[in-house]
Amino acid sequence: MISVILCGGSGARLWPLSRAHYPKQFLNLNSDMSLLRETVNRVRDLSDKFYFVANEEHRFMVAEQQRLADVKGTVLLEPVARNTAPAIAIAALQAVTDGCGDEAMVVLPSDHLITDGAAFRGYLKSAEKFAKEGLVVTLGVQPTRAETGYGYIHCTVEVDEASGARSVQQFTEKPIAADAEAYLGSGEFLWNSGIFIVTPNRYLYLLQKFAVEVFVSALESFKHKAADLDFVRVSKTHFKKSPSISIDYALMEPLCESSESVVVIPFELSWSDLGSWSSLWDLVSKDPANNAVVGDVLAQDVTNSYLHSSDRLVAAVGVDNLVIVESSDAVLVADKNDVQNVKHIVKRLEMEGRSEYVHHRAVYRPWGKYDLIGTGDGYQVKQITVSPGAALSLQKHECRAEHWVVVKGCAEVVQGSETYTVRQNESTYIPIGEVHSLRNPTEENLIIIEVQSGEYLGEDDIVRYKDQYGRIESV
């Protein structure tokens, strides 16, 4: 079975932990690994090929998650966001090119929470049989409440007793409360999980039949693809011509209205698309006061709340039904019933051009990350973490000098024509205008404290001469 993992999306409703440049699929929300890694692990025993569809900004983070998960897949880069139908199309085209056009292809969002991986794989094995017969299969979640935040699948007739598969009559968007109550009471509706199983050849055939503009733009963009390090870049010129449309609108709704067969397999597992803090609270374990508590938290007379500390102590007294989430540069306090509206705060941050919309205080780079831990007049201090085997580019700065102190690991430094090693508790100095680079030659993280001093300390004060990640222009 082929796995296509969709890695786009911003997860705005899980702000302040989820940001545009580091969205929820890269966060450890359920365990000591990211949601993306959990998705990989969920299907690892079934899949021999992985295709990751990601956007430009997240490509190195996806590559790092692959390394941590110990899988080697193809990462296809969307040059612009065009929703799920075109994203799946370029993955299907790559699978056909790889000679896998008639294998079952499971399409998985990378940011969902599913608790029982073994049972989930059993449902996929049942779906594989239908997919190889030319059907489009989706997994539907047995609803447990009248949820207005999910789409629904209307299904009645059972077509296979062993799997419980049913024929699909209609895909329905997020309903109003009264309709959701009616759906729940009828027993004929399932939540739309966004998980689909179909062969690549069948997907492309149906796309050409029902969404020809999507098919043509994907095909042309794939024909003009280019390799970039370990990534596959499709043509922006052609890809951006595609309508921005989900697989639900592009294929599933037209299929339900035609003679083409669509089936849904119900599954009764703990599942969530983690679309809000309240949905995460629903699934995680609680203390005796019905609170979900993460990190350094002290709660006194607090009930029914979600309390999350990332960096500092969070203390709460005498409150009920709240969400309190602390990060290094922002704190969210919201009524648990109103957390869907966090997206409006995120929109305001975006409109005002605030950095809290884009990234955390910790900024991720292909070589690791840096955390801005102090600023002042003419200086700033960063903690820099360089991943094993990674290297910063060969570069210089026109306006700033840099002082490096190694606090963990060992650094290989190039300064001008000299190459030397800086070990733990040792330091070095890079003058303004000096060409330099930094590499971690070890198998553990390198951590240094960098003190920058100068008249201008912006991230765009950089001239690159050589870079193993293909970033030669200034950033």
| Averaged pLDDT for residues 297-323 | 97
The one-character DSSP state at 417 is T
Q: What are phi and psi of 76, to 5 degrees?
A: -100, 130
Look at residues 297, 320, 347 and tell me which one is the last residue of a structural domain: 347
Q: Within this chain, do residues 200 and 54 fall inside the same structural domain, yes or no?
A: yes
Q: Where a domain ends, among 272, 287, 312?
A: 272
Higher-pLDDT residue of 160, 213: 213
Please check whether residues 257 and 283 belong to one and the same domain: no
Residue 284: pLDDT band with limits 50, 70, 90:
confident
Does residue 39 have a pLDDT over 60? yes
39 and 150, same structural domain?
Answer: yes
Q: Retrieve residue 146's tokens.
A: 């009248």
For the ranges 204-213, 448-457, 465-474, the lowest mean pLDDT is seen at: 465-474
Looking at the fold, whether 391 and 317 belong to one and the same domain comes out as: no
Same domain, 252 and 236: yes
**pLDDT for the residue numbered 149:** 83
In this structure, is residue 306 part of a structural domain? yes
CB 309 within 8 A of CB 294: yes
Confidence of residue 35 (pLDDT cuts 50, 70, 90): very high
- Does residue 6 share a domain with residue 134? yes
315 and 419 together in one domain? no
Instruction: Please check the confidence at residue 89 and state whether its pLDDT lies above 80.
Output: yes
444: domain range?
362-466
User: Tokens 């039949």 identify what position?
Assistant: 209
Q: What is the mean pLDDT of the chain?
A: 93
- Number of Cβ within 10 Å of residue 417's Cβ equals 6
CATH number at residue 68: 3.90.550.10
**pLDDT confidence bin for 259, thresholds 50/70/90:** low
In a domain, 472, yes or no: no
| Cα 102 → chain centroid | 28
> So what's the pLDDT on residue 355?
86
Mean pLDDT confidence for 420-438: 97
Question: Residue 54 class from Cβ within 10 Å (0-12 exposed, 13-18 middle, 19+ buried)?
Answer: buried
CA-based angle 241:242:247, to the nearest 5?
170
User: Residue 472 — very low, low, confident or very high, per pLDDT cuts 50/70/90?
Assistant: low
Q: Does residue 258 register a pLDDT over 90? A: no
The answer on 339 and 387 residing in a single domain is: no
Q: What is the pLDDT of residues 383-392, one digit of tens each?
A: 999 999 999 9
> Does 267 reside within a domain?
yes
Q: Is the pLDDT of residue 475 over 50?
A: no
What's residue 473's pLDDT?
A: 52
Mean pLDDT of 29-55: 93
pLDDT average, residue stretch 424-443 = 97
The answer to whether residue 133 is domain-embedded is yes
CB 308 within 8 A of CB 295: yes
How far apart are alpha carbons 87 and 396 in whole angstroms?
38
Name which residue leads in pLDDT, 56 or 435: 435
- Given a cut of 80, whether residue 106 has pLDDT beyond it is yes
Give the pLDDT score at 229: 79
Give the pLDDT confidence of 121-169 residue by residue, as tens digits.
Answer: 999 999 999 999 999 999 999 998 898 888 999 998 889 898 999 999 9
In which band, very low, low, confident or very high, does the pLDDT at 469 lie, cut at 50, 70 and 90?
Answer: confident
Q: Does 471 reside within a domain? A: no
Q: How many distinct structural domains can be found in the chain?
A: 3
Instruction: Report the greatest alpha carbon distance in the chain.
Output: 75
- Region 352-359: what's the mean pLDDT? 90
> Are 307 and 207 in a shared domain?
no
pTM value is 0.86
Give the Cα separation of 180 and 395 in Å (integer): 57
In this structure, are 140 and 217 located in the same domain?
A: yes
**The pLDDT of residue 300:** 98
Residue 413 has pLDDT above 70, yes or no: yes
Least confident of 20-24, 73-77, 90-94, 190-194: 20-24
Does 474 score more than 60 pLDDT?
A: no
Q: pLDDT band for 66, please (50, 70, 90 cuts).
A: very high
CATH of the domain at 436: 2.60.120.10
Are 201 and 241 found together in one domain? yes
Task: Classify 436 as helix, strand or coil.
Answer: strand
